């Protein structure tokens, strides 16, 4: 597995750049990943990130778009503005949880 | 006193479970009651073939009542509210009454909800230039529309995942490609497959192979597309990030949601699926309640084949449970799907919670082997044969000659 440097931290990431171990995550990791996605994190982004981390801790699964919008009370339109492209997979990476499996 | 096993939903999973248990339980000691609001049992996989004139309506409908084993009582009624704390269910028939149970099976499935996408059911469009084929009516109306098709832009859009039979949209587009070629309309038709997924399918290996099959056939693939609304005036679909796809004919796979009865009872998630233990299939929040088929939230495909594997692992477990033994974690998420790829061919994919679809051969004793993930003519016949197996073997509570757990025999990893 590739290793990435975050300040003094060295963390394992997978081939798509997701943290291998969600427990490794720190807010600095979020800042670094967000920057790579061209996203400047605001309070509203943090609301979503914290929701996603909590969801993962409780259920062991990364949430889908619908689970984020319903669970965190964020309109879908806004979620797409906050995390353009694919909000569920982008916020998962920034929040240090696995890429959503996508329902099969 | 006799114990009551109440089964909610008499579709694929409910019928199989009720009929199998009617053979296993001592029917002097047990009552098995099935409640369903529809008189007709639909063979849903057959809906796929209707738009192309391969199946007719009569091929996919049977009276539900005739499919229950002797001893199984059937009640035709809407299920109103499930009250697991009181171990009873209110039904709407007879002015509303309660049925008490000792054990409950929830098998109310999932259904397409076109009302959840603004503009889709606009009267200028719906069943004129916009259709679903996940209902019999939609499939029949779409067949009629395709007969007068003269070419243009045909867009297939999946509103959101999960959907039942996640490969059906791909099969539809492959069959459309075949059908249009047969009718000399393929070069006048642009085929576009618009999906919320990052590729043609979720599981990476299958996505790569299926993506290649789309490309080979000149079908455009639009990914990460999350539809917000349909504009009936301009005949375009619009995504949340404002990407537009114009269409002459829209084939929609509407949002799939579990039964409203689950929502009314407050026991489901955001899509009305019941939180279920993925290995034992017991409801996470309630003892004596099991959930089978599409109604669960377990992370495997919503498919008839899965419902069948679920029932296979549920039945022996249930017989342990009523004797006071603990449940065994026997369900492994096993799913397999024949994918129709047109021109009389098909491919088969087979996977579970842990194993991705693998290339190889699927061993079905006496019937196969069917090639996994590679097109072959025998896979197509597998799919056509399955309708016969469905009505005459599975729904009658008989068993297919294969184990419920996924077999690694015959697969190359
Ligand atoms: C177009 C299409 C193609 C498909 N192709 C395949 C395929 O190739 N292979 C495959 O394995 N699967 C396929 N499937 C999926 C398969 O049909 C379903 O996964 C399967 O039927 C699920 O069984 P179930 O018992 O969970 O739900 P269902 O069979 O849908 O049964 C649910 C039952 O509950 C009843 N019900 C729901 N709510 C209430 C209520 N409130 N009151 C009373 N009754 C209620 C309904 O009337 C229904 O009879 C396909 C589905 C479609 C739509």
- Are B85 and B103 contained in the same domain? yes
Q: Chain A contacts of B351, Cβ < 8 Å?
A: 104
In a domain, B400, yes or no: no
Instruction: Note whether residue B328 is domain-resident.
Output: no
- Please check whether residues B157 and B31 belong to one and the same domain: no
CA distance B287 to A73: 31
From first CA to last CA, the distance across chain B in angstroms is 53
CA proximity to B112, closest of B144, B160, B78:
B160
B354 belongs to a structural domain? yes
In short, whether B13's Cβ falls inside 6 Å of ligand 1 is yes
Does the beta carbon of A60 lie under 8 angstroms from any beta carbon of chain B?
Answer: no
Examine the domain organization and report whether B11 and B99 are in the same domain. Answer: yes
Domain contains B53: yes
Answer yes or no: do B237 and B348 share one domain.
no
Asked casually if ipTM beats, i.e. exceeds, 0.90, the reply is no
Instruction: Output the tens digit of pLDDT for each of chain B's 413 residues.
Output: 799 999 999 999 999 999 999 999 999 999 999 999 999 999 998 999 999 998 899 989 999 999 999 999 999 999 999 999 999 999 999 999 999 999 999 999 999 999 999 999 999 999 999 999 999 999 999 999 999 999 999 999 999 999 999 889 998 999 999 999 999 999 999 999 999 998 888 777 778 778 888 998 999 999 999 999 999 999 999 999 999 999 999 999 999 999 999 999 999 999 999 999 999 999 999 999 999 999 999 989 999 989 999 999 999 999 999 999 999 999 999 887 777 777 777 777 777 887 766 555 554 444 445 555 566 665 566 666 667 767 777 777 676 555 555 444 444 43
Q: In ligand 1, which atom is closest to the CA atom of B259?
A: 38
Say whether the peptide bond before residue B369 is cis (omega within 30 degrees of 0): yes
Q: How far is the CA of A49 from the centre of ligand 1 (A)?
A: 36
Give the closest-approach CA distance of A8 to chain B in angstroms. 34
Residue nearest (by alpha carbon) to ligand 1 atom 3:
B45
Pick the last residue of a domain from B322, B350, B378. Answer: B322
The domain tally of chain A equals: 1
Q: Is residue A86 part of a domain?
A: yes
For residue A89, being part of any structural domain is answered with: yes
Which residues 92-151 of B have a C-beta within 8 angstroms of A? none
Q: Is residue A102 part of a domain?
A: no
Beta bridge partners of A13: A19
Residues A94, A28: Cα–Cα separation, whole Å:
10
Do B271 and B382 lie in a common domain? no
Residue whose CB lies within 8 A of the most ligand 1 atoms, among B20, B251, B303, B395, for a mutation test? B303
Name, in order, each residue with C-beta under 8 angstroms of B365's C-beta and a sequence gap of 6 or more: B401, B402
Q: Is residue B171 part of a domain?
A: yes
Interface probe, candidates A76, A86, A93, A104, chain B, greatest B C-beta count within 10 A: A104
Three-class SS state of A41: coil
- Indicate if B118 and B229 belong to the same structural domain: yes
In terms of domains, do B46 and B121 share one?
no
Phi first, then psi, for residue B42 (nearest 5°) are -95, 140
State whether residue B397 is helix, strand or coil: coil
For A89, which residue in chain B has the nearest alpha carbon?
Answer: B198
A103 within some domain = no
Whole-structure pTM value: 0.91
For B251, the enclosing helix (H) or strand (E) is strand B249-253
Asked whether the beta carbons of residue A66 and residue B300 sit closer than 8 angstroms, the reply is: no
Structural domain harbouring B30: 3-111+258-322
Dist. CA B226–CA A86, nearest whole Å: 9
Strands B110-113 and B244-246: unpaired
For B214, phi and psi rounded to 5 degrees?
Answer: -65, -45
Out of A1, A8, A101, A103, which one is annotated catalytic? A103
Q: Which domain holds residue A41?
A: 3-95
Answer yes or no: do B199 and B263 share one domain. Answer: no
Examine residue B408 and state whether it is found in any structural domain, yes or no: no
User: To 10 degrees, what angle do helices A87-94 and A27-36 make?
Assistant: 140
Q: Is residue B351 part of a domain?
A: yes
CATH number where B74 lies = 3.50.50.60
Whether residue B248 is found in the same domain as residue B121: yes
Examine residue A101 and state whether it is found in any structural domain, yes or no: no
What total of structural domains would you count in chain B? 3
Tell me if chain A has a CB within 8 Å of the CB of B12.
no
Distance (Å, whole) CA A7 – CA A11: 10
| Domain match, B231 and B157 both | yes
Regarding the beta carbon of B51 and ligand 1, being less than 6 Å apart is answered: no
Residues B116 and B243 in one domain: yes
CB of B85 less than 8 A from some CB of A: no
User: Cβ of B256 under 8 Å from any chain A Cβ?
Assistant: no
Based on the fold, state whether residues B294 and B389 are members of the same structural domain. Answer: no
Asked if residue A104 belongs to a domain, the reply is no
Record: contact A65-B202, CB cut-off 8 A = no
């Amino acid at each position: 597995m590739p290793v990435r440097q975050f300040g003094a931290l060295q963390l394992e990431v997978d081939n798509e750049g997701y943290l291998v171990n969600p427990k490794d995550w720190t807010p600095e990791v979020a800042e670094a990943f967000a920057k790579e996605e061209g996203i400047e994190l605001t309070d509203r982004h943090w609301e979503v990130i914290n929701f996603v981390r909590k969801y993962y801790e409780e259920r062991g699964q990364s949430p889908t778009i619908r689970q984020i919008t319903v669970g965190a009370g964020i309109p879908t339109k806004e979620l797409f503005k906050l995390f353009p492209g694919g909000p569920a997979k982008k916020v998962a990476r920034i929040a240090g949880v696995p890429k959503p499996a996508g329902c099969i | 006193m006799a114990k009551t096993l109440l089964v909610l939903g008499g579709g694929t999973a409910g019928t199989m479970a009720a009929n199998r248990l009617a053979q296993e339980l001592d029917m002097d000691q047990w009552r098995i009651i099935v409640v369903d609001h529809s008189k007709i049992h639909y063979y849903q996989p057959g809906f796929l073939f209707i738009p192309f004139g391969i199946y007719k309506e009569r091929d996919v409908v049977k009276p539900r009542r005739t499919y229950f084993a002797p001893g199984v009582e059937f009640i035709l009624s809407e299920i109103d509210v499930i009250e697991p704390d009181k171990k009873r269910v209110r039904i709407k028939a007879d002015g509303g009454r309660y049925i008490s149970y000792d054990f409950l099976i929830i098998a109310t499935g999932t259904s397409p909800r076109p009302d959840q996408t603004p503009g889709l059911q606009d009267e200028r469009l719906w069943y004129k230039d916009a259709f679903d084929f996940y209902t019999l009516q939609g499939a029949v109306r779409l067949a009629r529309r395709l007969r007068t098709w003269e070419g243009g832009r045909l867009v297939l859009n999946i509103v959101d995942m999960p959907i039942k039979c996640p490969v059906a949209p791909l099969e539809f587009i492959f069959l459309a490609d075949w059908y249009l070629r047969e009718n000399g309309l393929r070069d006048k038709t642009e085929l576009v497959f618009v999906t919320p997924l990052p590729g043609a399918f979720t599981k990476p290996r299958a996505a790569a192979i299926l993506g290649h099959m789309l490309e080979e056939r000149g079908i455009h693939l639009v990914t990460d597309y999350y539809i917000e609304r349909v504009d009936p005036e301009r005949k375009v679909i619009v995504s949340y990030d404002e990407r537009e796809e114009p269409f002459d004919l829209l084939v929609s796979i509407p949002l799939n949601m579990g039964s409203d009865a689950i929502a009314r009872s407050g026991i489901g998630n955001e899509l009305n699926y019941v939180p279920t233990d993925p290995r034992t299939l017991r409801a996470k929040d309630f003892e004596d309640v099991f959930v089978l088929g599409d109604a669960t939230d377990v992370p495997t495909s919503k498919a008839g084949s899965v419902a069948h594997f679920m029932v296979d692992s549920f039945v022996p477990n249930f017989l342990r449970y009523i004797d006071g033994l603990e449940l065994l974690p026997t369900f492994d998420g096993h799913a397999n799907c024949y994918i129709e790829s047109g021109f009389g061919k098909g491919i088969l994919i087979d996977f579970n919670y842990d194993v991705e679809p693998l290339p190889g051969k699927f061993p079905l004793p006496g019937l196969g082997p069917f090639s996994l993930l590679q097109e072959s003519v025998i896979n197509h016949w597998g799919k056509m044969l399955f309708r016969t197996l469905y009505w005459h073997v599975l729904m009658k509570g008989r068993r297919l000659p294969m184990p419920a757990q996924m077999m690694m025999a015959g697969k190359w990893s």
